[in-house]
Amino acid sequence: MKQETIKWNAALYDERHHFVSDYGQDLVGLLQPVKGESILDAGCGTGSLAAEISSRGARVHGVDRSFEMIEKARTAYPDISFQVADLTDFDLQKTFDAVFSNATLHWILEPEAALKCIYHHLVPGGRLVLEMGGHKNVAGIIQAIKTTLEISGTGGQMADTGSWYFPTVAEYTALLEK
């Protein structure tokens, strides 16, 4: 079952949600990009972290499922390669020294398919550096919304919250090991 495509407002994302990329700066530090190596930015969004990685000398290729995000990335960073791709089903016909992913994989409802594609794109011994929302990440927020809806007399009805995947560390570790 393929996940429904989410339409992103790339300008609004950079304007109001830049904190996602701001926090991702620490993840770039963990990645430790090396001049000349090739790095896949899986879920690159509007490209700001791909640009940061590129500024350290690595060759970066960014992919994102959102056409709007990729268009903004291409406009902002024309010297970096970006393309629209679904992380659960893509083949770039090449491998990378590292795969980097910031605040993306919790949006992927088919984690095994995404990890298979990521693995396929890593050179033997390559590294994966990622950050994603974890178990019960927004559970308190969802419960507060439901409670507020119940108090308001709507019976606690709200839209399906199945757009995210927030595994435990053990669950995701098992997927990575597989």
The structural domains of the chain, with segments of one domain joined by +, span: 10-132
* 10-132 placed in CATH 1.20.120.10: no
Sole residue written with tokens 């899986």:
42
Give the span between the Cα atoms of 67 and 94, in whole angstroms: 22
10-43 pLDDT tens trace:
665 666 556 566 666 789 999 999 999 999 999 9
**Packing angle, helices 169-177 and 111-120, rounded to 10:** 40
pTM of the model: 0.83
73-97 pLDDT tens trace:
999 999 999 999 999 999 999 999 9
Burial of 91 (0-12, 13-18, 19+ CB in 10 A): exposed
Mean pLDDT of 144-172: 76
Give the span between the Cα atoms of 81 and 39, in whole angstroms: 11
62-78 pLDDT tens trace:
999 999 999 999 999 99
Q: Which amino acid is at 55?
A: S
Which DSSP symbol is given to 112?
H
